[in-house]
Amino acid sequence: MLKKQINWRKYENYTRQILNNDRIQKYLEEYFNLYDLKIKPKKKLPGKKTKTKWEVDAYGYDIDNHLVLIECKHYETRYVVQNTIAAFAYIIKDVEAQRGIVVTTLGLQSGAIKVAKTENIGLLKLDYNSTDNNFFIRFISNETQPSKAIAAFTDQLNGVSGIDGKMIVTQYPLDEAQKRLQQRTGRTQFSPDEINEEMENILKEISERL
């Protein structure tokens, strides 16, 4: 389903394309109050206080022309640590951006979550093997909204008919795949590959109902 993706540069590029996708934009509005956000490529932005330049993975401007920074972390086996989020928070302030969003494969370490919450940094989890055409992206819950996962495919999914050559987007609570795995295995912790496989099963069920 999702081919092995080990190139972090491609991951950054795919992230920009996915966040610019019209079908994903509405979730940026819902979860981050970012309306009509247009993501732009990697660039060095000037710091106001330090008078130096910071390279950011992606950036954009919201409907009110406020600067938003995007940080991508393409990790296969580890979570983003708090020092990384703290450094990102400093860059956000130095370039006088409105806010930042971290896009990562596995999520944040507990200390990093605290820093992100304090500094109003949003979190998206984009599957390690995602491309611009085939991806899983998870919008992490806040105090008022449940987490959601969005899956999009343009390629034929393991020979399942009815979805070849067109994008299928489906949404469901993020914990649905984990709940099904827990019921079947009795465990509470699962690898990204296990989650992906269960998501594939869900998509197959959906495609059979098309």
Q: What is the pLDDT of residue 210?
A: 39
Who contacts 161 (Cβ-Cβ below 8 Å, separation ≥6)? 207
The verdict on residue 1 lying in a domain is no
Judge contact between 22 and 28, C-beta under 8 A. Answer: no
pLDDT tens-place string over residues 9-24: 888 888 998 898 877 8
Quickly state the pLDDT bin for 144 (edges 50, 70, 90).
low
- d(Cα 46, Cα 196) in Å, to the nearest integer? 39
- d(Cα 130, Cα 149) in Å, to the nearest integer? 13
Judge contact between 16 and 6, C-beta under 8 A. Answer: no
- Is it the case that residue 131 has pLDDT exceeding 60? yes
The verdict on residue 166 lying in a domain is yes
The verdict on residue 2 lying in a domain is no
Count of the separate structural domains present in the chain: 1
The verdict on residue 3 lying in a domain is no
The verdict on residue 148 lying in a domain is yes
The verdict on residue 129 lying in a domain is yes
Please give the residue range of the domain that contains residue 170. 8-208
pLDDT tens-place string over residues 30-76: 888 888 888 888 889 999 999 999 999 999 888 888 999 999 998 87
Q: Report the predicted TM-score, pTM, of the whole model to 2 decimal places.
A: 0.71
In CATH, what number is assigned to the domain containing residue 140?
3.40.1350.10
What average pLDDT does this structure show over 181-197?
81
